[in-house]
Amino acid sequence: MSSTREAVSVRELPLRVVPVAALTRPWRNLGGRNSLYLVQRHARAYRHMWLVLLSGLGEPVFYLFSLGVGLGQLVGTVTGPAGTQVSYAQFVAPALLATSSMTGAMYDSTFNVFFRLKYAKLYDAVLSTPLRSGDVALGEITWALIRGALYAVAFLAVVVAMELARSPWAALALPAAVLTGFAFAAVGMAATTYMRSWQDFEFVTLVSMPLFLFSTTFYPLTVYPRALQVVVECTPLYQSVVLMRGFVLGVVGPGLLWHAAYLAVMGAAGLLVAGRRVSRLLLK
């Protein structure tokens, strides 16, 4: 695991203890600009591990070529947003962008955060500086977003190069990917603060795998029974898939705002919970 190779260093952070009372105010758990110190620390730690950063791009590209292009030769066209007929590769590509944003952000904000929290004790050192618990949460989530944005840019470039994007609106798939990463990174970090051992991470796979398979990633929503359609429509990854498909395929309307709002609220709630939990765990 890449986390075990990270150096625990916060020497660039100015040392000053912040009163515990200031950390327990709810609005302070949202973090501030001091969180950029933690992002800077991670960027320095990963200078010699750039291959780890690039590894996250491989999986969605492999899926795109094997399923979108390979299997797509047998499937033909499928029904996309607003009843438009698109190739199977065009149908799958935006969904893979959404799932890669989810998995990249979720795994970075769970496994790596757990190591830093329980074993490296990085946050104990960080909270002896002017950084608050909310800054820790926001810094970790921001770092996950930066990694996710790098993957999204590279994957979107592949999609455009393969001529799978049907509209200039595809450029908005990048901020949509960042919003997806924010939602899942925040919730992932909040969930990590409740985990007691590595065995608890089985629940991460238990959640992420069904989302990956059933959020209309490979099949249109209409293939499911109506009762299951309602369940799928309530899941967070489905909101991201709809956003990505709308932008990449050029089917844009006011209805997409609802899906964006869903992810934004999810991320804000996760950030607030993560900040409060870090404060309770390290400042009790």
C-alpha pair distances (Å), 265 with each of 136, 191, 259, 273: 20, 16, 10, 12
Q: What is the pLDDT of residue 10?
A: 46
Instruction: Output the pTM of the full model.
Output: 0.83
* CB count in 10 Å sphere of residue 69: 16
Q: Which residues contact 157 (CB under 8 A, 6 or more apart)?
A: none
Break the chain into its structural domains and give their ranges. 31-282
Q: Count CB atoms within 10 A of the CB of residue 197.
A: 8
pLDDT for the residue 180 = 94
pLDDT of the residue at 73? 73
CB 269 within 8 A of CB 186: yes
Q: Along the 284 residues of the chain, how does pLDDT read in single tens digits? A: 444 444 444 444 444 444 444 444 554 556 678 888 888 888 888 777 766 666 666 777 777 777 767 776 777 788 888 888 888 888 998 998 998 888 888 888 888 889 888 888 888 888 888 888 888 888 888 888 888 888 888 888 888 888 888 888 989 999 999 999 999 999 999 999 999 888 888 888 888 899 998 999 888 898 899 999 999 999 999 999 999 999 999 889 898 999 999 999 999 999 888 888 888 887 66
Query: What are the structure tokens assigned to 55, written together?
Result: 């590894």
Buried b / exposed e over 36-61, threshold 16 CB at 10 Å, is ebbbebbeebbeeeeeeeeebbebbb
Backbone phi, then psi, for 85, in 5-degree steps? -90, 120
Q: At which residue do the structure tokens 């990590």 appear?
A: 192
Give me the pLDDT at residue 17, please: 42
